[in-house]
Structure 1
Amino acid sequence: MSVPLYQAKAEFIRMLGHPVRIRVLELLQGGPMPVRALLAEIEVEASGLSQQLAVLRRSGIVTSRRAGATVVYALAGGDVADLMQAARRILTEMLAGRNELLAELREGGVAAS
């Protein structure tokens, strides 16, 4: 039995729903990074980072390769970077709208209902 597309999308978005995973994806937009560099940038224990990297790897969003004793992670494709940039634009627009409303409320320009 196949999963409806909307359900697959929901599961994908749910998989992204962890701050460490989002931070990893943001960092990897700049190019492949070894685990030690990710650890230096993200305030999480090594075991926690490893767990989140495994989720991203299983989902196919990131790839890993071994370079000697070092494991290097990279985004699996450019679409992930596009998704992260789209999320940033959407959040920026949402927050800008809230700031405009807050400014109007402070100025008394919005009549009470």
Structure 2
Amino acid sequence: MYDEIHKFKADFFKALAHPLRIQILEQLATGDKSVNEIQSLIGSEGSAVSQQLTVLRAKNIVVGTKVGNRVIYSLRDPMIVKLLDIAKQIFNNHLAKTVNLLDQMKKENK
């Protein structure tokens, strides 16, 4: 049972392990969007966005709904938004510690 949970977690984080996929998720955190909307907001080629959405769909992180001739993407689980926020907080914590360390080093070198 625990092996299945660990495998799920590892696969989940692998699916998030690409900068463009993170950007896509951040855009979808603000609301549902089409490939063209995501592409425009991110400033990336449509094929690259489509490829990354395919990975996210395969891992059940996003879901696509056909609306006319477009597919509208959304987050499968709204907890993804919290996960992205926590990741940002962790980054900020590391950054703050690095800035403090640099400040200490500057003081020592004076």
* Aligned residue pairs, count: 109
TM-score (norm 1): 0.87
Q: Which residue of 2 aligns with 1:88?
A: 88
TM-score (norm 2): 0.89
% identical equivalent positions: 34
Choose between structure 1 and 2: higher helix proportion: 2
State the Cα RMSD in Å: 1.8
Residues 1:78 and 2:78 are matched in the alignment = yes
User: Which AA in structure 2 matches 1:38?
Assistant: I
Once the two structures are superposed, the pairs formed by residues 1-113 of structure 1 within 5 Å of their partners are: 3-108=3-108
Larger radius of gyration: 1
User: Which AA in structure 1 matches 2:17?
Assistant: G
Q: Secondary structure at the match of 1:44?
A: coil
User: Which AA in structure 1 matches 2:69?
Assistant: A
Offset, 1:48: 1.4
Moved more, 33-42 or 2-11: 2-11
Distance 1:23 1:104 in 2: 34
Offset, 1:97: 0.6
